[in-house]
Amino acid sequence: MLVINNIEVNLTSKNGQVFTTSLEVAKVFEKNHKEVIRDIRNLMSKDERKIAPMFIEREYKDTYSRSQPFYEMTRDGFTLLAMGFTGDKALEWKLAYINGFNKMEQALKQPSLFEIPQTFSDALLLAANQAKQIEKQTKVLEYQKPRVEFADRLLKSEGTLSLRDYAKLLCDKGLQIGQNRLFEKLKELDILDNKNKPYQRYVDMGVLTLKEATYKNSTTGDDVIYSQVRVTAKGQEYLYKRIAA
């Protein structure tokens, strides 16, 4: 939000151009709106072909629900109009306005992660590209699914529990705690570090284990390490006492 002379100024953008309005200009420069309208029309009458594109006439409803004219104006339109504004603070307000235009225009030049389609054909092309991307991702997931399931079965061996299953066990024992809260609680107790890995002393105590399995990424060909913290039989009772305390 741009604030000039204690007035909140809303700059808007259309088709890559930044606009302000005659209503806001009148408030900022403490002028009667009718006088600003008059000045704009005087400018347009001098060279309508060059100046008219800088100003777009609109209508708004006043407090009596009557239609009244106002103008949207580009940076060039504002600059041309403000040349005639004088006063002790006018220069400061002009510079603040121009700085606001600069920032807005700079933001518009930044690349967007998602471009809104401007035409129906653009929308169809975007939908087709997204469908291809979803299909590709689905194939990757289907390819990797048996490998992930194999790794998961490997990790579930040796009579240990995942933290998700242990959270369910704690709920059965009367401790209402989900998997995410369990992770947070174990970090609060300095049992897990900030990367959700167990501190070595709890591994040495036989409370937790960190199981790892490897499968190959079908896209990059790289080996992916699949790791999981698991609670031992000894750890189940130990952790219950620590968490319930």
Summarised one tens digit per residue, pLDDT across range 156-173 is 545 688 888 888 888 887
Instruction: Give, in order, the Cα–Cα distances in Å from 111 to each of 28, 101, 115, 117, 238.
Output: 32, 18, 9, 15, 53
Which pLDDT score is estimated for 162? 85
**Stretches in the chain below the pLDDT threshold 50:** 113, 150-151, 154-155, 157
Global pTM reads 0.44
Tokens at 144, concatenated: 């990797």
Summarised one tens digit per residue, pLDDT across range 213-226 is 665 665 666 776 76
Q: What is the DSSP secondary structure assignment for residue 212, as one 8-state letter? A: E
Question: Minimal CA–CA distance to 81: which of 98, 60, 104, 59?
Answer: 98
| Angle, CA 189 vertex, CA 186 and CA 195 arms, to 5° | 50
Which pLDDT score is estimated for 26? 92
CB neighbour class for 51 (10 Å; exposed up to 12, middle 13-18, buried from 19): middle
Which pLDDT score is estimated for 180? 87
Which pLDDT score is estimated for 91? 86
- For residues 59 and 67, the answer to whether their CB atoms sit within 8 Å is yes
How do strand 7-9 and strand 2-4 relate by DSSP bridges? Answer: antiparallel
Tokens at 12, concatenated: 């808007």
Which pLDDT score is estimated for 60? 93
Query: Under the phi-then-psi rule, with left for phi > 0, alpha for psi from -120 to 50, and beta for the rest, what region is 15?
Result: left
- Residues 39, 49: Cα–Cα separation, whole Å: 17
- For residues 92 and 28, the answer to whether their CB atoms sit within 8 Å is no
